[in-house]
Structure 1
Amino acid sequence: MKHLLLLSILFFSFTISGQELYEIRKINSPVVLDGIVDEPAWNSITPFPMTMYTPVYEGEMTEKTEIRMTYDDEYLYFSGIFLDSDPEGIQGNSLIRDGDPGGDFFNVMLDTYNDNENFNTFSTMPSGNRLDAEILNDAEGDPSKIFNASWNTFWSVVTSQDDKGWYAEMRIPFSSLRFDDKNEDIIFGLIVHRLIGRKNERQTYPAIPPNWNMAPWKPSRAQKILLKGINRKNPVYFTPYVLGRMRENNVHDSTENRIVNHADTDAEVGLDIKYAISSNLTLDLTLNTDFAQVEADNVQVNLSRFSLFFPEKRQFFQERSGVFNFATSTISQNRIFHSRRIGLDDKGNLLRVYGGGRLVGRFKNFDVAVLSMQTEGSSPAINSENFGVIRLRKRVFNPYSFAGTMFTSRLDSEGNYNVVAGADAFLRVSGPYYLTLKGGHVFSDNLSNSDNSLAYLRWERRAVSGLGYFVEAEHVGKNFEPGVGFILRKDNLALNQNVIYGIFIDGQWLRKFEPFVNNSIYLRNDDYSLETISTEPGLLTSFVSGADLSLSVLRVYDEVINDFSLSDESYVPAGNYTYSSLKTSYNMNAGRKLKVNLSSEIGQFYDGDKTSFSISPAWNQSKHFGITLNYTFNRIEFTERDQLLRADIASATILAALDTQWSLRSLVQYSQVNNKVAINTGLRYNKKEGNDLYLVYNQVSNTADRDVEGTALPGTESWSLTLKYTYTFIK
């Protein structure tokens, strides 16, 4: 009984240098991970005081929630008791690892480096599936860029359900986390959530006012907790793989003007090693790296004269990927390091990766990230290359600011080189006011030594309650071409502004009005003449149900110097254009079993007329099956030039699971511009973390009667079937 009395208070608060901490004390009695919260250790712990975040901040919570935390020498433990007055309404909509079709959730977010910038998140649903991710950049910017769902680590969760509600027990090994331990004491940032999907009711600890964008996901708003007496183990993870593959390609041989069939089978073996050199420094090594199980990219339609941006999904590049971040404007997507440049050619085709290494973590108050990868040359035009990155950052002035440098290199077997040196600073000046400064310079044997720099400045007031805004300026030189980066448009000075004013409403139906104005100006570097200006005023309305409605008007002026193609049959000629369109979107509460999202854009497009409409219905039939459809109708007519572009795209995403181990994920996509259907289907058996069997099928088909130089293209352009097995040994 003595140890139960000692644990009668889980945490107490005290102040160190003005920072309030809650100390989490160790347990002495075991926790059996069975999803039933009945161990004596849990009974003696006081649950976190929860607060309603939505639909009404600090409103009366409709269901009782008890979330507790403790730890021992090897693990962090979390438990959740989620009572529900309508147990039939509990939604556990997925069994799939990292599947997120909406419903009820239990979320744990840990800022393990206490840097107020990055979270490791661990989540589950009543169905007991595991979802883990990284949250980057203090949850600021485009949600698709700040949530890195491709990050995975080793941890466990078990859930149960009865006529009173549902329950969860979560166990996270300290060896799966990276952190600073000083005298065996560590400080984490912590946020926990409970989401009741059907009600759009989110409960959080700590209480976080809705004054910032993505407020409940911001590491800077986390509760600081103290854990004492941590003597962490540093295991080594060896993960070999074996792979067998059959594939067939039909390609056009221009020299003989015929379709040539290439069919072969092959086998591969490789190895990944993960070693935690210390509690906050991790080394990843890879040999004959393979990414066969990576999900396919979503199809996009390019209606501009600039390149499309695709995110990184490959697991090897995920851990602490935020440290590698050196992006500038969220509008331009410019960055001096983008890992998708490694192992992929300009058309997205895979190149063999011989191997490499990656060191990430913190060393003597510096965030450190080092990467080196070697790829194979696939043709006379593509040489074998080495890609290198060095990133250093240090906290300065206050806990929310840092300054850093980055160096990238791309060297090929012929001696060609592209090296970039960059420096940046992110400074919290006062309260919600932030200043960002970034700069970079390219050194290359293939580029002129003039006009090859980038400079970026941003001032912002981070707020979504009341006035929020940002203004930014970005200069990109004509010859600024980072070999391992992504640049949307060069040789210009971009001036971007965004202003919002959030008005919260304590109404029965409405939650928030948010009028906004987006504005972008692009000036040419040589004479600062106007190239492009776009202005978009609008209104975003959020509803208590979790739905939202957006209306805006887009006005664009664009001076096109050279003709650019939209398809084989349509183009935009050089000239000066001014055009406008009306944009609308409506999104239902993501927690609904059946939901439909809608968007449209109607108006002018350069010297033509554009009608675009998108509908995305999703149905989560049960935790065993869900399907999401998308159809986007794109019609652009240039009447004076008698050109009609139909750029429709369609997709179907199917998620099916027998249990938390057996799952199937299939993505079928159609693009009318190139008349192709692409299929990516993966069957996964995940016995435990690091022990996986994958069966992956890919196919690309032509859907129209097309020919090249009079030679008809085959119906099936390519297909492949891959069987891959990985097993992790822990030493």
Structure 2
Amino acid sequence: MKNHFLWIFLLLLHLQSIGQSTKKPVIAFTFSEETIRVDGLLNEAGWQQSDSITTLGMVEPIENGAPTYNTTVKVLADAKNIYVGITCFDTQPGAIVAFSKARDSELEDEDYLKIIFDTFNDGRNGYIFAINPFAARYDALVSNNGESENSNWDGPWDAKTSINTNSWSAEIRIPVSTLTYNKKLDSWGFNVERRIQRLLEVNRWSGISMDYKVGQTLHAGSLSNVPLFNSGIGLTPRVSLTGKLTQDGTESANYDLKPSLDITQRITTDITAQLTVNTDFAETEVDSRQTNLTRFPLLYPEKRQFFLEGADIFDFGISLGRSLMPFYSRRIGLYNNQEVPINWGAKVNGKVNNTYFGGLVTQTGDVNSVIPSSKMGVLRVKQNILKESSVGMITTIGDPGNRNNAWSGGIDFTYQTSTFGGNKNFLIGVWGMYANREGLDGDKSAVGFKIDYPNDLWDWFVQYRRIGDAFEPSMGFVSRNNISTYSAKVAYMPRPENRVIRQHQFRFSPSLTTDLNHNWESYELSFTPINVSLESGDNFSLNFAPSGEFLKDSFYIAEDVTIEPGAYHWSSFEFEASTASKRAVNGTAAYRCGGFYGGNLDQVELQLNWRLMSFLILEFSYENNIARIPAGDFSKELLAVRTALNINSNLNFSLFTQYDNESESVGSYSRLRWTFAPLGDLFVVYKHNIQPKITDKWRQDQNQLIVKLTYGLAL
């Protein structure tokens, strides 16, 4: 058996070695003694003298085709900053699709420029900066070796744009203190991507393949002549003062004033340490409510900035998704949906040679002697091996409820290549974890593997997971234990040569879950015979899914509705249509119908986006689940409305209101953010919740007004 694995591994190495070898394009830094004014106009002398990228290559709709419009890119540097100047030629500037102005806007559905820096030049990680014609800024960290982006990361940088008669241009300034990098290198990985939304066209400088994503920095070009930057002493202190005025129900309002301190210290250019004291996350947006029609807990995303900085290092395994995480940072500072104060936290992350590492430790306070104070920590180490692969470990210690002897550990190995059989992506990942804590008895382990072939024409995977009955990591997340899960997907996605259809997708996704004694618990066979993306940007799909559940215990699904144990089998149909986001009014509609626990379930989901003006956007979403089953009839509704008023990329206001008929409460969250300096922000937040009394009259549940001022300096 060992010889079989050895031969397989040698075969993979051989297939990787015969991949296409292409020479990387190169652009050089130009050092500028001149002060560059970031105004969107590339009129300083340094821009005229700098090295240039004169055109990009088309990725979509025709791979390696000639771009409809040219794009020029230039890169300057002074002692402390990196400047990128880009000119996007377009003979119809009035037809440019741009509507976002707020910081951290998702720009995928409009014209944008995206630049990537691989500051360790190892083809595995990187920084992503994107901007649209209205100067809305988006930044992210390359995650999962370029397969995804951690868009919650925020770094200090600035950009301005200008729309002209035959082009739009962008001028970007990135303080070198924003980046971690290897100061011994004289070249970095670098790439540029431009999207022309009305044409659904994507152009890129390097890695021109529909199978590759721009975040796969192994296929980036080279940015040479990296200067010896002056990072100063590498210290960035940020002081915040938060005032809160809170009123619960009819009680008297109370006021709280809280200072906090965040310090970032660059130990070396590639190692960064952070300290937070008396931490406050008052400006963090509330969670969007979710409907749960299962017996398993839901996962909510992390939004707090301290935990998002360097979060990519804690990625574990491949494609574990939303059902299993060895480290889930929301375990810190939140306990049973109640906020817990964080007295202090410290973290360090960086790279030494080919080893990435990250560590985090926090101390939480107690809450009215009900939730005890607790110290928690996590350590992650990942070693680069071969060309794109890695092996790593993760360990956590501590428990949110301060239960004794709480720790967990895991190891993972990922073989990855983007030159499989020539120029295709291929991954094999294996992982194992163990969790321990006072009160856990049984199988505390979890193991799994995945073989993945994620490419444009064919996309398939096979996956297996085994999760013990006592696997409950104190600082992780697992939606379901005591199971073995077998899952797969095969998708064939041809691109016909016509003027109507951009791409078809035919997909089959089976999954089977058993208990550890191999007795079936659930299954699903998902068929997608129709999924069509049109050249207009519109999309429609049809899905059919036979499913089944075997319940060993009853579970509560809605008020006065409990589903009893037994075997249930049903089938469901889904139709979904979405209109192109390039339109001022666009949206998505989905309708599902079919069986559900011995009865029927009808589901409707609607989403509408309306750009009333260039600075005013309205988003509406609605979901209704109507069940008629033997256990009882019920409906679950969600309604949410978001209004965004974006004066510019540094001044914006949003109002988010949501209602669900399960809690019967209306919650609103409004936030004004003014970024008055690269490290200075003023937040004004108002939270308001109301719910009905038995008499059907609405009563006030909670009001809270928050004002937070934060300011920092890069020293």
Establish whether TM, by shorter chain, passes 0.5: yes
Q: Which residue of 1 aligns with 2:198?
A: 198
**2:144·2:318 contact (CA, 8 Å) conserved in 1?**
no
587-596 or 482-491, larger mean C-alpha shift:
587-596
Letter of the aligned partner of 2:29 in structure 1?
A: R
Q: Report matched runs for 1:323-342 at 5 Å.
A: 323-326=313-316, 329-330=319-320, 333-342=323-332
**1:328·1:335 contact (CA, 8 Å) conserved in 2?**
no
Letter of the aligned partner of 1:726 in structure 2?
A: T
Q: Which residue of 1 aligns with 2:84?
A: 78
Q: 1:455 to 1:289 in 2, by over 3 A?
A: same
Q: Report matched runs for 1:161-176 at 5 Å.
A: 161-176=163-178
Q: 1:635 to 1:119 in 2, by over 3 A?
A: farther
Q: Which residue of 2 aligns with 1:50?
A: 56
Residue 93, structure 1, aligned to residue 99, structure 2:
yes
1:567-608 Cα deviation digits (max 9, x unpaired): 113232211011111122223333332211122211111212
Residue 614, structure 1, aligned to residue 620, structure 2:
no
1:182-239 Cα deviation digits (max 9, x unpaired): 2xx2443322122222222222112521125xx2343343224334332341421111
Q: Report matched runs for 1:574-653 at 5 Å.
A: 574-638=565-629, 640-641=630-631, 643-653=632-642
Gaps (5+ residues) in structure 2? 1-20
Distance 1:468 1:100 in 2: 25
Residue 301, structure 1, aligned to residue 299, structure 2:
no
Q: 1:191 to 1:158 in 2, by over 3 A?
A: same
**1:79·1:169 contact (CA, 8 Å) conserved in 2?**
yes
Q: 1:318 to 1:113 in 2, by over 3 A?
A: farther
Q: Which residue of 2 aligns with 1:265?
A: 255
1:311-351 Cα deviation digits (max 9, x unpaired): 1111111122111112565455301101011101122x211
Residue 665, structure 1, aligned to residue 654, structure 2:
yes
Q: TM-score, normalised by structure 2?
A: 0.91
Letter of the aligned partner of 2:508 in structure 1?
A: V
Distance 1:541 1:412 in 2: 46
Residue 310, structure 1, aligned to residue 300, structure 2:
yes
**2:32·2:77 contact (CA, 8 Å) conserved in 1?**
no
- Residue 26 of structure 1 is aligned with which of 15, 27, 30? 30
Q: TM-score, normalised by structure 1?
A: 0.89
Q: 1:115 to 1:543 in 2, by over 3 A?
A: farther
Distance 2:189 2:120 in 1: 8
Q: 1:304 to 1:383 in 2, by over 3 A?
A: same
Letter of the aligned partner of 1:37 in structure 2?
A: L
Distance 2:307 2:128 in 1: 17
Distance 1:414 1:571 in 2: 33
Q: Which residue of 1 aligns with 2:347?
A: 358
**1:48·1:205 contact (CA, 8 Å) conserved in 2?**
no
**2:617·2:643 contact (CA, 8 Å) conserved in 1?**
yes
SS, match of residue 126 in structure 1: coil
Q: Which residue of 2 aligns with 1:396?
A: 385
**1:614·1:633 contact (CA, 8 Å) conserved in 2?**
yes
Letter of the aligned partner of 1:403 in structure 2?
A: V
Q: Which residue of 2 aligns with 1:241?
A: 240
Residue 283, structure 1, aligned to residue 273, structure 2:
yes
Q: Which residue of 2 aligns with 1:61?
A: 67
Distance 1:74 1:149 in 2: 25
Distance 1:261 1:411 in 2: 34
477-486 or 173-182, larger mean C-alpha shift:
173-182
Letter of the aligned partner of 1:600 in structure 2?
A: Y
Q: Which residue of 2 aligns with 1:14?
A: none
- Residue 177 of structure 1 is aligned with which of 169, 176, 179? 179
The alpha carbon displacement at 1:292 in A equals: 0.5
Distance 2:656 2:544 in 1: 33
SS, match of residue 175 in structure 1: helix
The alpha carbon displacement at 1:281 in A equals: 0.6
Letter of the aligned partner of 2:620 in structure 1?
A: L
Q: Which residue of 2 aligns with 1:551?
A: 542
The alpha carbon displacement at 1:615 in A equals: 1.3
SS, match of residue 53 in structure 2: coil
Q: 1:158 to 1:414 in 2, by over 3 A?
A: closer
SS, match of residue 730 in structure 1: coil
**2:234·2:265 contact (CA, 8 Å) conserved in 1?**
yes
**2:317·2:413 contact (CA, 8 Å) conserved in 1?**
no
Q: 1:291 to 1:412 in 2, by over 3 A?
A: closer
Q: Which residue of 1 aligns with 2:10?
A: none
Residue 408, structure 1, aligned to residue 396, structure 2:
yes
**1:407·1:421 contact (CA, 8 Å) conserved in 2?**
yes
Distance 1:135 1:479 in 2: 34
Residue 534, structure 1, aligned to residue 540, structure 2:
no
Residue 226, structure 1, aligned to residue 220, structure 2:
no
SS, match of residue 296 in structure 2: coil
Q: Report matched runs for 1:674-693 at 5 Å.
A: 674-693=663-682
**1:327·1:333 contact (CA, 8 Å) conserved in 2?**
no
Letter of the aligned partner of 1:108 in structure 2?
A: I
- Residue 426 of structure 2 is aligned with which of 433, 442, 449? 433
Distance 1:658 1:434 in 2: 44
Distance 1:689 1:25 in 2: 24
Q: Which residue of 2 aligns with 1:729?
A: 713
The alpha carbon displacement at 1:23 in A equals: 5.1
SS, match of residue 658 in structure 1: strand
Gaps (5+ residues) in structure 1? 1-16, 141-145, 251-259
Q: 1:546 to 1:206 in 2, by over 3 A?
A: farther
- Residue 155 of structure 2 is aligned with which of 153, 156, 178? 153
Q: Report matched runs for 1:468-507 at 5 Å.
A: 468-507=459-498
Q: Which residue of 2 aligns with 1:116?
A: 123
Distance 1:83 1:218 in 2: 26
Distance 2:215 2:605 in 1: 29
Q: 1:713 to 1:564 in 2, by over 3 A?
A: farther
**1:241·1:270 contact (CA, 8 Å) conserved in 2?**
yes
1:281-300 Cα deviation digits (max 9, x unpaired): 11110000010111111110
Sequence identity percentage = 23
Distance 1:619 1:565 in 2: 38
1:448-492 Cα deviation digits (max 9, x unpaired): 2x3001111111222122x32111111111111111100010011
Letter of the aligned partner of 1:417 in structure 2?
A: N
The alpha carbon displacement at 1:513 in A equals: 1.3
SS, match of residue 46 in structure 2: helix
Distance 2:399 2:636 in 1: 38
